[in-house]
Structure 1
Amino acid sequence: MQIKLAKFSGEFVWHFHKSKDALFFVHKGRLLMKFRDRDEIIEEGEFIVVPHGVEHCPVALTDTCEVVLLEPGTTVNAGAAADGRMVIELGQI
């Protein structure tokens, strides 16, 4: 497992992770997590777990949306979707 800090901006791509769950903890700002059957708003200090195999689309509702992700280190941010914002090599702090 890895703890990742990400800054979200606008809407990401619809995607899913075949075999890995992901936890999104909103450190700063507000996040909308779209699912095919519903939308969930995650406020600062709250978190949501997205089970593997569930298609989702994160959307930053504020200019600055900082999210702490808890997921396996091998998880690719765009899952199975091909997107120009896919990150394979992570930066370290």
Structure 2
Amino acid sequence: MQEIKSINIMEKFSLFEKQWTPHIIGELNGQYVKLCKLKDDFVWHSHDNEDELFMVFKGTLLMDFRDGKTVEVKEGEILIVPKGVEHRPHTNGEIVFNLLFEPKATLHTGNIENEKTVKELEWI
């Protein structure tokens, strides 16, 4: 049986610096729990088959949608982006500590690929 132990999320955030690069900290029911540090702008993308949950631990995440709406996600808040909805996460220049909860098959930049796309995720 796998060892069951608690995970200190802030300690895990201290183990990496690279931005917009998710790191896996857990797995359950075919889902990954990922941590990511975010700063400035990401790319417009969507996920055809998966909803995506963003939970902010530090800072404020801004999520743009194609209808012109921007949703602000503050520390301790979550945002769920439904599958198929095009979105662009960004920050106001600060580093945001974000937890993602999504199916293991979810592609980092969804339906597009560019220089920010991460194909191989690392466990920490």
Give the TM-score range, shorter chain: over 0.9
2:86 alignment counterpart: 55
Query: Match for 1:19 among 49, 55, 59?
Result: 49
**Aligned-residue offset at 1:61:** 2.3
CA offset at residue 63 of structure 1? Answer: 2.0
User: Would you identify which runs of 4 or more consecutive aligned residues in structure 1 move more than 4 Å?
Assistant: none
Aligned residues: 93
The one-letter code matched in structure 2 to 1:24 is F
Match of 1:5 among 19, 22, 35: 35
Code of the residue aligned with 1:21 in structure 2: it is D
TM-score, normalised to structure 1's length? Answer: 0.95
Please tell me whether Structure 1 or Structure 2 has the larger radius of gyration of its CA atoms. Answer: 2
Shift of 1:88: 1.2
Say which structure, 1 or 2, has more relative contact order (CA 8 Å, 6+ apart): 1
Equivalents in 2 of 1:9, 1:74: separation in Å? 24
Cα 1:29–1:62 change in 2 (3 A) is farther
Asked whether the equivalents of residues 42 and 48 of structure 1 are also in contact (C-alpha less than 8 Å), the reply is yes
What percent identity do the matched residue pairs reach? 42
Task: Tell me the distance in 2 between the aligned counterparts of 1:40 and 1:27.
Answer: 16
Structure number with higher helix proportion: 2
**How far off its partner does 1:62 sit?**
4.2
- Structure 2: which 5+ residue stretches go unaligned? 1-30
For 1:30, the equivalent position in structure 2 comes to 60
